[in-house]
Chain A
Amino acid sequence: MKATGGSLAGALAPGAGMAGGPGTAGEPARDVGFSVSLERYSGPLDLLLGLIRREEIDIWDIPIARIADQFLQAIHLLGLDEAAEYLEMAARLLRIKAQMLLPRRGDEEPWEDPRHELVRRLLEYQQIREIVDWLAVAERRRAECYTRGWIPSLPNLPPPPPELDLTELVEAVERVLAMMPDPVMVRVMPRPLNVEGATQRVMDLLAERESFGWRELLGTRPSIVDILSSLVALLELARGGILTLAQRKAFTPFEVARGPTYQAA
């Protein structure tokens, strides 16, 4: 596919009308016949330059009202009128158009052409486009010379360390809370945690088995108080070394096991 080699004038041409070069460009602009696709323009400046070429406009004296109208029409036809960058350019053109309409104030101060900045940017961009054409030719020519190891192999990166962000943490909490039958809470009232009861449950389970998944503490329909009590109990016992907590893999439920100071009751 020929992506960049063509001239700007060609890029905007409705069919073959422009293919002959600038000599055929003088025909009046038609409102229909844009058969170009979005990816042919790399931005609003590209489109604007295309219009200026097509209309054979002197870049130093742009008829801003006409070009602003055509720009609006073009982005509408191309379905670009929702792209922020094109809208920004449209707004800029309309502002310049308005400024051009303002009466100039005598000779008091030199009049600054409101198109000045736009022309500077267009020329700057035009130059980049020329360099792009040059680079595209150089790239194509170089591609005709095969070398050994032309495609660099991707670096062999170690797997990234597991990352946890707040959302994932909140989601994990929500997964646990989702085990509750009805998480709708209407009133907030203090309810004491039953840490002693939970501690007893932990010790009972540890007496039975050397290790177990912590969710076994909760039963089938745990309340928030049950969950929190169990967590506090586990943390307290872990601090005392009576049990150890281990998570084999990220996002798996952690395992509770007898710790160094565990003594069977």
Chain B
Amino acid sequence: MDQRTRLLEAALFAAPRPLALDELAVLDADATEDDWRRAVGELRDHYQAEGHGVELAEVAGGWQITTLPIFAEAIERAAFAARPAKLSAAALEVLAIVAYRQPVGRAEIEDIRGVSCGGVLRMLQERGLLDVAGRSEGLGRPILYATTPLFLELVGLAELSDLPRTEELAVALRTPQATEP
């Protein structure tokens, strides 16, 4: 591996979050984004070809070194690393609604779910999975929520467009014309 690829590996190892290509620029003023893209490619191939315990994953708009899934159980059993607590069904519902409707206000979320969700919203905000994205122009100017890069990290997505498209789901949303008797 050349020097730049090794620098990339060091930076990714040190960083607690995925690093985007344009963030890497500060590491080396001479390198362009294309140089970094090449370095990412080289590092990824290196991990694959040489048989490593880690791999390079594209997550939340950046790159991150992660352990291979086949070792998850052993690491879990040994309790070397802590994983965040799994989210409840209610929390995932709120995340799902926000992910597809963002920016979206609490009233709309509660309307779709049929239950109030102030506590869940607060918890998701505290965990950094949701953030306030502004205020609606509507009555009372309610707060609007959006997902954060940490949400993408939680579900291991590179970007929001990697979520399943609504047309691909079994039930199509908003088909009122079909309800005619």
Q: Which residues of A contact B (CB under 8 A)?
A: 1, 3-4, 39, 42-45, 60-61, 85, 89, 111, 113, 115-116, 119-121, 123-132, 134-136, 138-152
Contacts and interface: CB of A to CB of B under 8 A. Distances in A.
Contact of A142 (B75, B112, B155, B164): B155
B75 A128 contact: no
Interface string B134-172: 000000000000000010011111000001101001111
Interface in B30-60: 57
Given A89-B114, A127-B171, A152-B16, A42 B89 contact: yes
A134 B164 contact: yes
Contact of B72 (A61, A125, A132, A145): A145
A82 to B, nearest CB: 14
Contacts of B122: none
Nearest to B90: A42
Contacts of B112: 121, 124-125, 128
Most buried by A among B16, B82, B112, B155: B155
Interface stretch (B1-9, B21-29, B95-103): B95-103
B92 A135 contact: yes
B115 A142 contact: no
Contact of B113 (A43, A113, A142, A144): A43
A53 B73 CA distance: 35
Contacts of A42: 89-90, 93, 113, 115
Given A44-B114, A132-B89, A146 B181 contact: no
A145 B90 contact: no
A6 to B, nearest CB: 10
Given A131-B100, A146-B66, A125 B89 contact: no
22 contacts: A4-B89, A4-B92, A42-B93, A42-B113, A42-B115, A43-B113, A43-B114, A116-B176, A124-B112, A128-B112, A129-B93, A131-B96, A134-B164, A135-B92, A139-B92, A139-B156, A145-B66, A145-B156, A148-B14, A148-B65, A149-B15, A152-B16
A119 B17 contact: no
Given A128-B112, A135-B155, A148-B13, A143 B176 contact: no
A121 B15 CA distance: 43
B173 A127 contact: yes
Contact of B93 (A128, A148, A151): A128
Contact of A123 (B97, B171, B180): B171
Nearest to B115: A43
B89 A123 contact: no
B16 A149 contact: yes
B69 to A, nearest CB: 4
A60 B172 CA distance: 13
Given A125-B113, A136-B92, A152 B128 contact: yes
B123 interface: no
Given A131-B163, A152-B128, 7 more contacts: A4-B92, A44-B114, A85-B115, A146-B81, A148-B65, A149-B15, A149-B17
Contact of A113 (B92, B156, B171, B179): B179
Given A138-B155, A150-B84, A127 B13 contact: no
Nearest to B83: A143
A136 B92 CA distance: 7
Rank and list the top 5 A-B pairs by shortest CB-CB distance, nearest first.
A149-B16, A142-B156, A144-B72, A145-B66, A43-B115
A62 B137 CA distance: 38
Contact of A131 (B154, B156, B157, B169): B169
B84 A151 contact: yes
A175 to B, nearest CB: 33
